[in-house]
A = this chain, B = another copy of it.
Amino acid sequence: MTGEHSSKQYDQELEGIRSQVLLMGGMVETQFEEALECFRIGDIPRAERVMAEDQAVNQLEVSLDDACSHLIVKRQPTANDLRTVMATIKVITDLERIGDEATKVARTAKSLHERGVTGFAHYDMIRTIAKATSELLHDSLDAFARLDGKQALQIIAGDEVVDHEFRTILRSMVTYMMEDPRTISSALDTLWVAKAIERIGDHAKNIAEYVIYVVEGRDIRHSKVILDDLPAV
């Protein structure tokens, strides 16, 4: 499997790209944490900084896609080596979308606090889903950094917890809205934030699936069987 193309230089260049992708991962992770904090305390200038930061993330997406293309053309990787580049290209897309969702959280936080939150403890509603998703995101970047297939499998299972928590929030919000229609507007904003968080969980799961694709050479997207491979907790 280690043909002529799997040169030291190829490995070095690929590692360079992978470090940059991890840097991008760190950026969107910070964006997400900051956006959550803005939602919690209503710091509007901070929310605006999170929104502005998205441009840097977007630029990184474009330049990293470019770097992957250059690597392919210059080094003409074997099928085995190409798998890592293909997965990296997909991970870059997911990271950019995570940045988009974090930006939405910041934008909604700004809007909600400008209008004033009414009727319920809005941050308490999302505390659990935010914590679970932050961990998933962190772990997915960690699994990508270390190409750890086992950790990746756990992330895929963890995303189910996030989805379940979203449905719980939805039910609570409907109750609030029904009991006091004055809460409808802020309840909807809280729901949009919860939805954005839930999507970040989906992207973390996608990243985990690409890690497994690199490590095990099998494409497990859309496969249910995988959960049987999980060690009992």
- In the complex, the 4 A-B pairs of residues with the closest C-beta atoms, listed nearest first: A58-B222, A76-B76, A73-B79, A178-B181
The answer on a CB contact under 8 Å between B72 and A82 is: yes
A108 to B72, CA, bound (A): 42
Copies of this chain, complex-wide, total: 2
Q: A127 near B: Cβ within 8 Å?
A: no
Describe A's contact surface by its main secondary structure: helix
Q: Quick check: is A164 within 8 A (CB to CB) of the other chain?
A: no
Chain B residue contacts of A222, Cβ below 8 A: 55, 58-59, 61-62
Q: Considering the chains assembled together, what is the distance between the CA atoms of A133 and B182 in angstroms?
A: 32
B-contact bits for A53-85, CB 8 A (1 contact / 0 none): 001001101100110111011001111001100
Interface flag for A221 (CB, 8 Å): yes
Residues of the B chain whose Cβ atoms lie less than 8 Å from the Cβ of A22: none
Contacts A73-B78, A76-B76, A93-B90 given; indicate if A62 touches B219 (C-beta within 8 A). yes
Contacts of A93 in B (CB 8 A): 90, 93
Given A73-B79, A77-B73, A61–B221 Cβ distance below 8 Å?
A: yes
Chain A residues numbered 195-218 whose CB sits less than 8 Å from any CB in chain B? 195
Q: How many residues of A contact B (CB 8 A)?
A: 35
Q: Does A86 contact B (CB under 8 A)?
A: yes
A81 nearest in chain B by CB position: B73
Q: Smallest Cβ distance from A212 to chain B, in angstroms? A: 13
Residue pair B184, A65 in contact (C-beta under 8 Å): no
Instruction: Decide if A44 is an interface residue (CB 8 Å cutoff).
Output: no
Chain B's closest residue to A177 (CB) is B184
B65 engages A219 (CB within 8 Å): yes
CB contacts under 8 Å to B, within A27-65, are: 55, 58-59, 61-62, 65
Residue of B nearest to A192 (CB): B195
Smallest beta-carbon distance A184→chain B, Å: 5
Partner of A86, one of B61, B69, B174, B178: B69
Residue A89 interfacial (CB < 8 Å): yes
